[in-house]
Structure 1
């Protein structure tokens, strides 16, 4: 397994490498002096910062501004590319975000990921790196972020749901897990996440569903895996939120060829 510390990241404004992680891999909280772009080619990653939890499905990428403390969880085996970028090159990207990856951006990421550490800044390699940064700004964002609470009691609840979206505990069960009274729990949860527990859990389930659908898993399997009582109930919610049926999302997902 490769590590960023193994690479001379400061020699050029954009540096990167390909990497792979086994199922169940966890990279504990850390930060980088440079902005980070991670593209997930295969598998599903969860990236958790202090403010948000992001689902990173296949053929999507996440941008993390320099200094963002984050941890990474791999639900299954993951193949990825990670680029480290001088933050001065993209001052408009001050928020962590997950975005779509066009065929052009994917190809550019692959190219930069194989550059020699001393690539020519004024030649073809330098032009490719600049084009990649320009194209990244044009990529549409994905609804893949969940607001995370700072209260450790509430954070315990949220992490449990992220790990298992199908957990069917009721509000009293979650309040008990947080060691809080029901009213205190519901009030504090809304204050810290901006949503009630039911809405937040629905977001967790839909984000988990997106990652599974992007892998090509059947709609019925996904519906039950993320906690819905039936595929029809799942499809109704998915269509209401995303404006399309889950089967249509599978058809649009890159890499399902």
Structure 2
């Protein structure tokens, strides 16, 4: 089954009036779906009921899951993608009615309480008074998460072969020295480029790619042993330790429910 590309407009924050405080949206995708770069006049909280999706702002790539969502401020240009089988959900927050949680995109932990409150707002028959109380409770518990599944992509021609290879195969075992030899530059040159373009080291960047890919597999129901092997670790314990260092969370957080 072929994929689908959806084209949405780029609207400034508050450019279009919206008659809601929080509006629920939900869709399960039968085929791979991508969205062009666009922006909304309202704030958006993205999370998933099932599976993992991505949101891209410039060179930053976030993974959105059932456990970890993403706050997207109104007017922020972003693109996205979801694989077949993913069930995406979102809350749209009126620009004039709700102050942004952050001036830039930020991760949000989808706690059991927050999930229940958001699910309650999906009830179209909810009385106005109950809806207002529930919306107030959502805004009260909605906070940025110290953990996030974020990957800062390098942009230079020098690092592009490395970035493409590791994202295509997160289990790639080539070392910094091997990449330097292949590209005909020194290890120091690659190290400096990674620090300048991604704010982190080559090793930590690879670990972030592996963590994002692992989350996608975990939300699809893969077993921990298979995930660890797929993303280049020799044991589940080594995978778990690297995952916790990278994300601040355990792999079990993202296991399919």
Give TM class, smaller chain. Answer: 0.7 to 0.9
Task: Return the match for 2:21 from 13, 17, 35.
Answer: 13
Establish whether residue 147 from structure 1 lines up as the match of residue 147 from structure 2.
Answer: no
Partner of residue 54 from structure 2, selected from 46, 49, 52? 46
Residues 217/136 of structure 1: CA separation in 2 closer, same or farther (3 Å cut):
same
Counterpart in 1 of 2:78? 70
TM (norm. structure 1) is 0.76
- Structure 2 vs 1, CA of residues 75 and 111 (structure 1 numbering), >3 Å: closer, same or farther? same
Match of residue 161 from structure 1:
166
Q: Is the 8 A contact 2:207 2:246 kept in 1?
A: no
Once residues 140 and 46 of structure 1 are traced to their aligned partners in structure 2, the CA distance between those partners, rounded to angstroms, is 17
In the superposition, relative to structure 1, how do residues 163 and 201 fare at CA in structure 2: closer, same or farther (>3 Å)?
Answer: same
**Secondary structure of 2:18 counterpart:** helix
The match for 1:91 among 93, 100, 111 is: 100
Structure 2 unaligned runs (5+)?
10-15
For the aligned residue pairs, the C-alpha RMSD in angstroms reads: 3.6
Query: Offset at 1:66?
Result: 1.3
Cα offset, 1:90, TM superposition? 2.3
Which of 224, 236, 242 is the matching residue for 1:237? Answer: 242
What secondary structure, in the 3-state scheme, does the structure 1 residue paired with 2:103 have? coil
Distance 2:248 2:130 in 1: 41
Match of 1:113 in 2: 122
Structure-2 separation of matches of 1:170 and 1:197:
9
Deviation at 1:222, TM superposition (A): 0.7
CA distance in 2, matches of 1:41, 1:155: 33
CA distance in 1, matches of 2:82, 2:161: 19
State the match for 2:130 in structure 1.
Answer: 124
For the residue of structure 1 that corresponds to 2:45, the secondary structure is strand
Aligned to 2:226: 221
CA 1:105/1:160 → structure 2, altered by over 3 Å: closer, same or farther?
farther
CA contact (8 A) 2:114 2:138 kept: yes
Higher helix share: 1
* Count of aligned residue pairs for this structure pair: 245
* Structure 1, unaligned runs of 5 or more: none
List structure 1 segments (4+ residues) > 6 angstroms apart after TM superposition: 1-5
Secondary structure of the residue aligned to 1:111 is helix
Given that 2:58 and 2:78 are in contact with CA atoms closer than 8 Å, whether structure 1 keeps it comes out as yes
CA contact (8 A) 1:51 1:147 kept: yes
Cα separation, 2, equivalents of 1:61 and 1:35: 13
Distance in 2 (alpha carbons) for counterparts of 1:125 and 1:149? 44
Is residue 82–residue 113 contact of structure 1 (8 Å, CA) maintained in 2?
Answer: no
